[in-house]
Amino acid sequence: MVSTRARSQHPLAEIIETLESGGALLPDSEENVLEVVGVLKSYAIVLDAYSNNLNYIAEHQFLVLFPFFKYFNGDVSAKKLLKHWWHDRFNYEFAEYCMKAMFWHGGGGLDAYLDTPEFIALAQKAINAKLKGNLFMQGLSRAFPEFLIEQVRLLAYYSGLGQFWRVMSDMFMELSDRYDAGEISSISEVVALVKEGLVKNANLPITYAVTIDGKTYDILPKSAGLTFLMDTAVPYVEAVFFKSFPFMGTVSYNAQARAIPSEPERFAYGVLYADPLPTGGAGIPPTLLMQDLRHNVPEYLHQFYRRSLRGEEDLRVMICVSFQKSMFCVTTAAILGLAPHPINTEDPQEQKANRKYLEGWMDKLAESRIANVQVCEM
């Protein structure tokens, strides 16, 4: 059917029209499908580990101010300690990096709830129970009443991100299984599966409670009405895909140097904007993730990388390129899932509303690497 829509005047009009016709931010090709599915299979394994650890910290390291063994998930042994020191482990620091980006940038119902009197009252009950008999910490809490409340807010984000990644890990593993079974063969099908997963889990409750001396204390009760999509997924996309932080050691944080925007709203350091080439350098947080992904890429993707010009010499960079492509697919699913009307609507008014909505997204993506993923970079 020939489209009756007027052509958009936006600089990224071609991509807008691609989305309106059922396409994605990432072009469809056999190689792109292989890269995206392969790297998301590895990501599913990594997110499983990240999610388990974030939830463990939230539930079992509650107000432990010096959590030396927080990355051990309760299994501390000499063998595991040696592996930890040798760095033979997942880089859980990257999970905390993403969590702190969400915490700092805020947004969504979770951020709003953490400033309510209800949350403060619940957090204070848990704090009082945790400090029972600890005169030093009780005195510290009285002297700085906001200190421990802020720690509980941070732990709520540990739990919220852990629950979000739990869903995404299962979703990406299902994608891989269906690809292996021959059920997924196009980028549009990848996007459709992710979109379906986001919609299916949209109203999944986000709750958080801790057990202290055998008694359970709600921190994020079900009555708060926090849900997967609007209160964790959307703020995550905004904080990690778009804003994030300038990488320390690569950009001056000196206010007088004006090397970074003075307003966080203008930050554009997220995964959709980051240049993959510095991956592997000191002070580049995604290097930690790429290292974890490197250990878990499926063999078919590894073979694809070996056929590139440099072979395995820049493996982390190639993984980063594939990962960035996959995140443009996830972003497509989020864009389509949040659209005011079905993207294939024939109603002119609904088409107009969708067009305005898509142009808003393209304004945000204009300075991203969207142009780079339109061509093969391997």
66 in a structural domain: yes
Locate 315 and state its tokens.
């493996």
Q: Tell me how far apart the alpha carbons of residues 250 and 53 are, in angstroms, rounded to a whole number.
A: 29
Instruction: Please give the C-alpha separations between residue 80 and each of 47, 83, 84, 204, 317, in angstroms, as whole numbers.
Output: 20, 5, 6, 35, 29
* Pairs from 229-233 (Cβ < 8 Å, separation ≥ 24): 229/198, 229/199, 229/201, 229/202, 229/203, 229/337, 230/108, 230/109, 230/202, 231/108, 231/109, 231/110, 231/160, 231/206, 232/108, 232/110, 232/160, 232/161, 232/163, 232/164, 232/206, 233/164, 233/198, 233/334
120 in a structural domain: no
Angle between helices 13-20 and 348-365 (to 10 degrees): 130
Q: Tell me how far apart the alpha carbons of residues 39 and 325 are, in angstroms, rounded to a whole number.
A: 9
pLDDT band at 57 (very low <50, low <70, confident <90, very high): very high
Q: Tell me how far apart the alpha carbons of residues 348 and 356 are, in angstroms, rounded to a whole number.
A: 12
141 in a structural domain: no
- The one-letter amino acid at 17: E
The whole-number pLDDT of residue 1 equals: 40
Q: Provide the domain count of the chain.
A: 1
pTM for this one?
Answer: 0.94
289 has a pLDDT exceeding 50: yes
354 in a structural domain: yes
Q: Which of 331, 33, 301 is nearest to 182 (CA)?
A: 33
Q: For 206-247, how does the pLDDT look when each residue is reduced to its tens digit (9 = 90+)? A: 999 999 999 999 999 999 999 999 999 999 999 999 999 988
Instruction: Please give the C-alpha separations between residue 76 and each of 53, 72, 80, 83, in angstroms, as whole numbers.
Output: 14, 6, 7, 11
215 beta partners: 212
- Mean pLDDT throughout 236-265? 88
271 in a structural domain: yes
Q: Tell me how far apart the alpha carbons of residues 110 and 155 are, in angstroms, rounded to a whole number.
A: 12
Q: For 232-242, how does the pLDDT look when each residue is reduced to its tens digit (9 = 90+)? A: 999 999 999 99
Q: Supply the range of the domain harboring residue 340.
A: 13-82+164-204+229-373
98 in a structural domain: no
119 in a structural domain: no
**Local structure of 210: helix, strand or coil:** strand
The percentage of residues in the chain with a pLDDT greater than 70, rounded to a whole number, is 98
238 in a structural domain: yes
Determine the longest span between alpha carbons in the chain, in angstroms: 75
